[in-house]
Structure 1
């Protein structure tokens, strides 16, 4: 490890005895979790979009009824408004199942692996990449805040 790496925050410095392959592998686990987090965000977006759409269908049914199209409004209310998005579930149930299942399990494993192999330190791989790529001594390229 170079003298410059000694300037890295202890929170991001690889633990003694950790080899490059381990740092890379743990970084890959963390990156996979980042993708899960992104997917979770999209799931919440889907949840909110579908909720908004259901409310919009409700408003549209009211407008259809006011315009004299009661049969169309009734059909919309009966067949679309309040309908399960997937069998037996509204989107809030999908979100809850995802959060309680896959997301929680993935986070627990990522944390355990980090704790076991990196002494709980986050982003060791990225911190080393920063150290390798920054221009030492240049403003905006400091090792730490």
Structure 2
């Protein structure tokens, strides 16, 4: 179907599709925040690793050992099971989000658009664009 057939969708279908699109777009934004979180956490850990070396070089073995033994191997979240006693690292959180919730909701969004709108995306925006263009032509 071409864009001209968007009118075949009911108003509630357009609204529902729009909400699904907004949800998927917001999950992509959340994914970006998780990537930034992962990178920032990695940079912080690099700084802690450098601090460990410098504390050790300055003769502060106890503090250096605490960094080495308690903080550097530790995850950013507590463990969800007994297999990862040190906790979950930021890459694990990111990968889990990507492979589960994000992937599942994106697939759902594609499926619902295929079933309801023959795969067309942004049907509400296309409808608004047509209305605004028609309104602009009518005021000339």
Normalised by the length of structure 1, the TM-score is: 0.79
In the alignment of these two chains, the number of paired residues is 127
Decide whether the 8 Å contact of 1:57 with 1:81 is kept in 2.
Answer: yes
Decide whether the 8 Å contact of 2:6 with 2:127 is kept in 1.
Answer: no
- SS of the residue aligned with 2:121? coil
Q: Could you list the runs of 5+ residues in structure 2 that have no partner in the other structure?
A: 80-86
Q: How does 1:105-124 map to 2 (within 5 A)?
A: 105-124=104-123
- The aligned residue for residue 32 of structure 1 is 23
- The aligned residue for residue 42 of structure 2 is 51
More helix by share: 2
CA distance in 2, matches of 1:100, 1:13: 36
CA distance in 1, matches of 2:102, 2:4: 27
- The aligned residue for residue 89 of structure 1 is 88
Matched, 1:65 2:74: no
**Shift in alpha-carbon separation, 1:121–1:75, aligned structure 2, 3 A:** same
- SS of the residue aligned with 1:85? coil
Q: Could you list the runs of 5+ residues in structure 1 that have no partner in the other structure?
A: 1-9, 138-145
CA distance in 2, matches of 1:68, 1:14: 75
Decide whether the 8 Å contact of 1:57 with 1:76 is kept in 2.
Answer: yes
Please state how far the C-alpha of 1:16 moved relative to its aligned partner: 5.8
Higher relative contact order (CA 8 A, sep 6+): 1
- The aligned residue for residue 84 of structure 2 is none
Please state how far the C-alpha of 1:24 moved relative to its aligned partner: 1.4
- The aligned residue for residue 32 of structure 2 is 41
Normalised by the length of structure 2, the TM-score is: 0.81
